[in-house]
């Protein structure tokens, strides 16, 4: 009886220690690779017909030229989409999204933003996201969905013309796709900076605890 | 490219040979190499390399691109029409686009020009421009989308390709219609048969109600509003109905072959 209680206690302790379950860690790092491939090849594709008055330095692009970049972009898109779908399905089915990301209240976001900017935000329990994290993680999921849909609408403006029309037409869909990329890059900068500031969170995403 | 094709070595897979040769070059020279053609000696020297077992990124990317061809062929709805626009939406001036300057564009004498028809067709007689102009024509105002990302709306008038294919008794069970053009370095491009038979795929003779100007492909271009611009060949001189994948100017350099919109 006592040994059973001990092993139960032990099990509870070890599950409590797992901050990021294995499936989250796997899809996270696959996504990281896919997103970087998509962004770098996307920059090279952008350079072929820039929307704004600048181009991306070839040293930070992937593919060498438009044809090579398109090959990378349309290969990595499968990795991004399949992995993203697995993440969304598991996120809903396991209840992780509901548990981790909800609720998001304006008051919570404001007070946690203030706390974060004054370096007073607690990271004692990495398994529990603060309101800024909730907002950013939920937001980046939505941006991820929009960038994939706008990308599909640029790729298939005839076969998926209803989708292209939803974005306001081919030309606007290109801007939407670009803006989503910019948001993801901004998120990435912040995300990586914060992971470096709180290294325990990076460790949790690698070994789970 | 035409020259490379004539230099085929029996028993050597042309594509692997070229791919192999290309692999050894830095990115920038590749395009010039392919467009400029290569010597027989250079190619034979390179056939010893083992391409089949290569698991390089380039091989993987080429395989995914083939997979994407299949996905797009599956997605292609032969009844889905490209959106059409009012004349007021036409982009003016409509851009000239090519891998050469407009003054290097083929300058074709319409009286000498003939369209060659080859391959799996019942009647392979060449067609003069005068004969082609007599065929029924339709107009479309559609969006031309370049592989580079930009787009422009234009007005094209001509004969639906499927009507012409019927007229020459083409075997429409064949896989491709392969176009050859008068552009320098010999532009060419394969078009999959389902797309060739799409109601909006057109042998174009007019742009904005005027005889097709030199810049846009006089005397004939193939307008395919369900494909990216480079799959819309200009200055067409021949078409071949074939089951063989014969490659294309840009396709051979890495642009996805189906490139459907």
Q: Across residues A136-140, what is the average pLDDT?
A: 96
H helix intervals, B37-155? 40-45, 57-75, 129-133
Residues of A in contact with B260 (CB under 8 A): 156, 158-159
Name the residue among B31, B82, B250 with its Cβ closest to that of A158: B82
Q: Does the distance separating the beta carbons of A159 and B80 come in below 8 Å? A: yes
The pLDDT of residue A146 is 98
pLDDT-derived band at B5, boundaries 50, 70, 90: very low
Q: Could you report the per-residue pLDDT of A9-50, keeping only the tens digit for each?
A: 444 445 557 889 999 999 999 999 999 999 999 999 999 999
H helix intervals, chain B? 2-6, 14-23, 27-36, 40-45, 57-75, 129-133, 161-167, 193-196
Residues 6+ apart with CB under 8 A from B248: B188, B189, B190, B257
The pLDDT of residue B49 is 44
Distance of residue A72 Cα from the nearest chain B Cα, in angstroms: 7
Q: Does the distance separating the beta carbons of A71 and B149 come in below 8 Å? A: no
Query: How far is Cα B10 from Cα B154, in angstroms, rounded to an integer?
Result: 45
- Predicted confidence (pLDDT) at residue B94 exceeds the cutoff of 50: yes
- Predicted confidence (pLDDT) at residue B33 exceeds the cutoff of 90: no
Averaged pLDDT of chain A: 90
What beta strand segments (E) does B71-187 contain? 114-119, 127-128, 138-145, 151-160, 176-181
Q: Across residues B203-209, what is the average pLDDT?
A: 97
Query: Higher confidence at residue B113 or residue B23?
Result: B113
- Predicted confidence (pLDDT) at residue B36 exceeds the cutoff of 80: no
The pLDDT of residue B88 is 95
Q: Does the distance separating the beta carbons of B256 and A71 come in below 8 Å? A: yes
Q: Could you report the per-residue pLDDT of A175-193, keeping only the tens digit for each?
A: 999 999 999 999 999 999 9
Name the residue among B61, B226, B255 with its Cβ closest to that of A72: B61
Taking any CB pair shorter than 8 Å as contact, residues of chain A touching chain B are 45-46, 48-49, 64-68, 70-72, 74-75, 78, 154, 156-159, 161, 170-171, 174
Work out the burial of residue B255: count CB atoms within 10 Å of its CB; fewer than 13 is exposed, 13-18 middle, 19 or more buried.
buried
Q: 3-class DSSP state for residue A41? A: helix
Q: Could you report the per-residue pLDDT of B143-172, keeping only the tens digit for each?
A: 999 999 999 999 999 999 999 999 999 999
Q: 3-class DSSP state for residue B141? A: strand
pTM of the model: 0.84
Going from the C-alpha of B185 to that of each of B4, B30, B108, B169, B223, the distances in angstroms are 11, 15, 15, 30, 21
């Amino acid at each position: 009886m006592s040994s059973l209680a001990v092993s139960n206690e032990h099990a509870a302790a070890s599950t409590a220690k797992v901050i990021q379950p294995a499936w989250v860690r796997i899809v996270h790092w696959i996504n990281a690779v896919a997103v970087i491939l998509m962004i770098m090849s996307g920059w090279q594709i952008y350079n072929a017909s820039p929307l704004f008055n600048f181009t991306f330095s070839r040293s930070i692009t992937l593919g060498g030229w438009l044809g090579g970049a398109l090959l990378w972009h349309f290969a990595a898109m499968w990795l991004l989409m399949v992995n993203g779908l697995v993440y969304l399905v598991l996120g809903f089915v396991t209840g992780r999204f509901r548990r981790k990301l909800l609720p998001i209240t304006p008051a919570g976001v404001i007070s946690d933003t203030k706390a974060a900017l004054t370096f007073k935000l607690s990271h004692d329990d990495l398994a529990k996201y603060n309101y800024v994290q909730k907002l950013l993680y939920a937001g980046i999921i939505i941006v991820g969905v929009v960038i994939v849909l706008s990308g599909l609408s640029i790729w298939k403006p005839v076969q998926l013309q209803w989708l292209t029309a939803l974005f306001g037409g081919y030309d606007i869909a290109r801007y939407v796709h670009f803006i989503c990329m910019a948001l993801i890059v901004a998120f990435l900068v912040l995300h990586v900076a914060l992971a470096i500031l709180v290294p325990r969170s990076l460790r949790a995403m690698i070994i789970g605890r | 490219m035409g020259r490379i094709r004539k230099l085929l070595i029996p028993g050597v897979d042309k594509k692997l040979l070229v791919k192999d040769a290309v692999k050894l070059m830095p990115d920038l020279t590749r395009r010039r190499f392919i467009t400029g053609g290569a010597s027989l000696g250079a190619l034979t020297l390179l056939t010893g390399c083992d391409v089949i077992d290569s698991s390089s990124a380039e091989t993987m990317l080429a395989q995914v691109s083939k997979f994407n061809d299949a996905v797009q062929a599956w997605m292609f709805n032969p009844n889905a029409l490209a959106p059409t626009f009012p004349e007021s939406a036409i982009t003016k001036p409509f851009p000239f686009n090519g891998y050469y300057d407009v003054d290097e564009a083929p300058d074709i004498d319409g009286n000498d020009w003939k369209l060659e028809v080859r391959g799996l067709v019942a009647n392979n007689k060449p067609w003069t421009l005068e004969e082609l102009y007599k065929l029924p024509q339709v107009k479309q105002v559609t969006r031309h989308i370049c592989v580079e990302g930009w787009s422009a709306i234009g007005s094209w008038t001509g004969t639906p390709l499927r009507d012409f294919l019927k007229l020459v008794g083409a075997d429409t069970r064949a896989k491709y219609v392969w176009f050859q053009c008068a552009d320098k370095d010999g532009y060419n491009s394969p078009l999959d048969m389902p797309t060739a038979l799409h109601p909006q795929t057109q042998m174009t003779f007019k742009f904005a109600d005027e005889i097709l100007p030199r810049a846009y492909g006089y005397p004939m271009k193939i307008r395919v509003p369900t494909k990216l611009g480079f799959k819309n060949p200009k200055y067409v001189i021949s078409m071949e109905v074939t089951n063989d994948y014969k490659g294309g100017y840009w396709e051979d350099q890495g642009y996805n072959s189906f490139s459907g919109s």
